[in-house]
């Protein structure tokens, strides 16, 4: 059943991505509204129920989360009221047609294999921040197995320190069990989002390393609790 739902999700997602891209180019000044409608539909279609703990600080200009599933993006886009600028791998934006899901809303695409990629990341981040858009990143740099958190990459730290940002850390639980795009499996379920206290970036402090340790601690504890349900 999960495989059938996964195949249906793939077909549905392909169709709705195409429609969303066309709408974003058609209504260029309203791309955020288009994305919001798309994400609300995805939450309904996937049968997602949300549990939230803590409070989202909407004034933060950098949001960092653990990453395990495509559903992480859908959930945070659904929750966050501001026009997030996601940092994505260049490989995604280079995809034929579907790469426009990154290009049309002017998300940030980086080439991790190119040393100039970090310079480009800072430039693009400043542009989006100047437009009033918070940056959204997965500091792990790639998806984990959902059981633990990978070591953080330096990109989020560089952006936060460079522009003296207030950072909202968040932990997302159970998304991989609901949508596993690699195995092409999907099922309805509950996603829990935990907002940690915002942190002010400061080059003179160890805020990034401390935040990484705190996020790992919370994730490990929550996974244990989740498995006991």
What is the reported pTM?
0.93
What is the DSSP code string of the chain?
-HHHHHHHHHHHHHHHHHHHHHHHHHTGGGHHHHHHHHHHHHHHHHTEEEEEES---TT-SEEEE--SSTHHHHHHHHH--S--EEEEEHHHHTSTTTTHHHHTTT-EEE-TTSTHHHHHHHHHHHHHHHTTPPEEE-TTSS---SSSPPPPPSHHHHHHHHTT-EEEEEEEESHHHHEETTTTEE--EEEEEEEPPPEE--TTS-HHHHHHHHHHHHHHHHHHHHHT-
For position 89, what pLDDT does the model report?
A: 85
For position 124, what pLDDT does the model report?
A: 95
For position 90, what pLDDT does the model report?
A: 83
For position 95, what pLDDT does the model report?
A: 79
For position 71, what pLDDT does the model report?
A: 95
Which residue is associated with the tokens 């790469």? 99
Q: Are 189 and 48 in contact (CB under 8 A)?
A: yes
Residues with Cβ within 8 Å of residue 13, at least 6 apart in sequence: 42
Q: Which domains does the chain have, with CATH numbers?
A: 2-227 (3.40.1130)
Per-residue confidence in pLDDT tens, the chain, 229 aa: 888 998 998 999 999 999 999 999 999 999 999 999 999 999 999 999 999 999 999 999 999 999 999 999 999 999 999 999 999 988 888 877 788 999 999 999 988 767 777 888 999 999 999 999 999 999 998 899 888 899 999 999 999 999 999 999 999 999 999 999 888 899 999 999 999 999 999 999 999 999 999 999 999 999 988 887 7
- Of 172, 191, 192, 143, the residue nearest 46 (C-alpha): 191
Phi-psi sector, 174: left (phi>0), alpha (psi -120 to 50), beta: left
């Amino acid at each position: 059943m999960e495989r059938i739902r996964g195949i249906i999700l793939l077909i549905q997602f392909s169709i709705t991505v195409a429609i969303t891209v066309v709408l974003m180019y058609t209504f260029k000044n309203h791309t955020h509204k288009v994305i919001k409608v798309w994400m609300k539909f995805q939450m309904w279609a996937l049968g997602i129920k949300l549990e939230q703990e803590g409070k989202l600080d909407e004034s933060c200009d950098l949001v960092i989360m653990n990453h395990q599933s495509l559903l992480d993006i859908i959930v945070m886009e659904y929750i966050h009221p501001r026009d997030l600028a996601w940092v994505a791998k260049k490989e995604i934006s280079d995809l034929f047609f579907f790469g426009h899901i990154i290009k049309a809303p002017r998300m940030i695409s980086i080439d991790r294999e190119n040393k100039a990629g970090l310079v480009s990341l800072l430039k693009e981040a400043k542009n989006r921040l100047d437009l009033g858009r918070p940056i959204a990143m997965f500091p792990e740099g790639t998806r984990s197995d959902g059981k633990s958190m990978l070591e953080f990459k330096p990109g989020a730290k560089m952006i936060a320190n460079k522009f003296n940002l207030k950072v909202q850390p968040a932990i997302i639980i159970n998304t991989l069990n609901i949508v596993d795009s690699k195995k092409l499996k999907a099922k309805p379920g509950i996603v829990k989002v935990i907002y940690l206290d915002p942190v002010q970036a400061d080059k003179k402090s160890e805020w990034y390393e401390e935040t990484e340790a705190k996020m790992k601690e919370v994730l490990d504890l929550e996974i244990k609790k989740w498995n006991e349900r």
